[in-house]
Structure 1
C-alpha cells in the first residue's frame, strides 16, 4: 500500500514556474561612472531616461560597432571599444573610433575605479574615483592629456569631492588649473525623504565672458521629483520630476518601469513553465521656455520627446520614440552566448525633410553576466506549494499573484549584482 501511494506521489507534476529573463543591459554602462558625475545629474530619473531615449537608437545612415570584453584571467579590468561611421563608406573622415580601458577595485562595487579613454576625435583622458562606503566620502578627478592647445579651464582637468548616503548627497567640482579667480566651479545638494526628492545645482557656463556669480539665478538649476520603487529591474518603479534650468526653461519628465507576466506559448518550453516576465518602460520629457530671453546663457527652445520599450523575452527588444521633427523605431536581437552578441536596426522618419533612413548596430559583450533563472525561489517566480501543483493554475493564470519572492520585501542579498538596485546611494 505504501509503495502504491509512493508511486502516485512521484507522478505529481513539478511546481509551475514563471521565467525571469535578464535585462538586455543592466546595470547600464553609465552607472559604472556615476560617482564622477554630480548626483543632481543622475537624480530625477535622468539616467534611465537617457538610456530609454538613446540606447539601440542608431543614427540615420550610420552604423556602430561596440565590443565590451573582460579577460577571464583578471575580471577587475575590462575594455569597451566603439567604431561608428556612415553606411555609404564614401569618406573615412567620418569614421570615429574610441576605446575605454578600465580597472575596478571591487567587482561588487563600481565606485572605485581608474579608466583611460582614447579616441580619434577627442584628447586622451584619464579618469579616477575613490569612494569609501563606510564613511560616505569620495574624491574623483578627470584629466585630459596631449592637448595641443588648452583654451578653456576644463581643458586642464577637473577634480571633485562628494559625500553620499541613501538620503543625501553634497559635492563640488572645481578646475584646479589654471590658478585663477575666474575658474568655473560647480556644486550640488540633493536630498531624499521617502518618495520625495529635491535638489539644487550651481553650474555656470564655461565662458569667461559670462559672469560666474552665486547671486545670478542663471547659474542655478533646481528640481523636485516624486518616485516609487527601487532601481532593481525586478521591481516596478516610476519617477516624475520638474526642473527649472537657468531660470529660463522648465523641464517636466516622467519615467515608469513595469514588470508584467504573460502566458508562455512556446512549444520548446517544459509543461510546468506557465508564464514569462516582461519589462515595459515608458518615458517622456517636455521642455518649455518660461521667458523670452535669447541672450547669452539662455537655453534651447521648447521641445518634447516620448519613448517606450518592450522586452518580450531574453532575446527580443522593441523600442520607439517620437520627437517634434523625427520618429524612430528600433528592434534588437540578443544571443546570450559568452560573449553575447546583439544586433539592432533602427528606422528613422524625418518629417521635416520627408525622408526615411536606417541605421545598424552590433555589439559583443562579456562584461555583464546573464541572469536567466528558471526555478530559483530567490528570484521572481512561483513559491512551490500545494496550490501551485493544482491543474487549475493554468486556467486561472493572471488571477492569482505570481510575484512571491524576497524582492517584494526589499531583500536583494541573494540577487546577482546585475539585478541589484543601483540607487542605494546618491
Structure 2
C-alpha cells in the first residue's frame, strides 16, 4: 500500500523515498525538497566558514594601517614642532637685533645731544629688555584636538555637507604662483601646475612625484578615466597626455594648432572650449575623433563669456558671465542633448574690474562647488539647482578640486590648502 506524501498539506501518494531524511515524497514536492536541502547545505557551509573565520588575522592587518596613520600623524606633529622651534629662534634673534639697533642709535644721538633728554628712552629700553629676561615672550597654546571622524571603522555614513562649516585646512602646500593656477584630480592623485614642474600629490597630501614640464604655460587640465591619463591644454596651441601610471607625456598631434582655453572629461568623451566660446566634443576611444560641436548662441550669448566648464557622467556645467547684465550664472546642460537643465544666478556682480578666475568642479553626484577669486567666496550648488551654502575664504581661491568627495583642495596665490569634507 502506497504512503501519502510527507508534506502535511499534500494529499498525493508518495513516489520517492529520500534516504537522507527518510521521508516519502510525491514527485511534485521532490524538486522543492531538493532545493530546500540544497539551501540548508548552503547555510551549513556558510556557518562553517563563519566558524573558521580568523578575525585576528584581519585585525592584525588593519592595525598595521592604523599604525601607519599614527606614524604619519606623529611626523606631521614633529614637523609642526620643528617649525615652531625655528620660529621661536627667529623671534628672539629679531628682538635682540632690534634692541641692539635701538641702543646703537641712542649712543650716536647722546654723543651729539644732551644725554639727559634720553634718560626716559634708556629707561624704556631697559624695561623692555628686563621683561624679556624675566618672562621671555608669551606663547599661547591650544590643546590639539583630533576630529573623532578622521578615522571611520566600518561603513562610513557621511552627514550632509555644510559649506558654511568648512573645516580649517589640515595640510598646506607652498606652491609658486603660476599664470592660470591649473589643478585637477584623478581617483588617486591631485595634479598641480608648478611652472617648470607638474606636482603629483596623493590623498595624504604628500608630494609623490615632480614631473619636469617644458611645453609652455598650461591653460587648463582635466582627468580622463577612459584613458587613465591627465589631459593638458597649453597656450602654444597644443594638447598633451600625461599617463598616470608611467608619467609619460605625449602630444596629441591631431589636436595641435587649435586654441583651446578650457577642458573637461566625462567617461570616454572630452569637451574643449575654444577662444570664441565654441564647445567641441571628442570621442577618446577607440581613437581620438571630433564628434559634435556647438557655437554661440547655443553655448552662450555674444555678450557673454564662458569662465569654466566641468562635467559629471551625464551633465555639463558652465560658469557664464555677462557684460550686459553684469550677472554670473551656473548653467547645467544634458550631455546627451545639450538641452539646458537649469540656470542659477550666483550672488556675484560681474564688475569690469573682476578679471580673476571663477572655477567649478563636481562635488558629488550632480552637486557642484564653485570658487570665485574676485570675491574670495565658495558656493555649493545642490542637484536641485539651488545654492546650499556659501563660504568666505581667507584668501583668494583661484582653483579647486575634489578627491573622492572626501577631500577639497583649494589653490590660492601661493598655496594649496587641503580640507576634509
Question: TM (normalized to structure 2)?
Answer: 0.30
- Give TM-score, length-normalised by structure 1: 0.29
Greater C-alpha radius of gyration: 2
Structure with greater helix share of residues:
2
Using CA pairs below 8 Å that are at least 6 residues apart, which structure has the higher relative contact order? 1
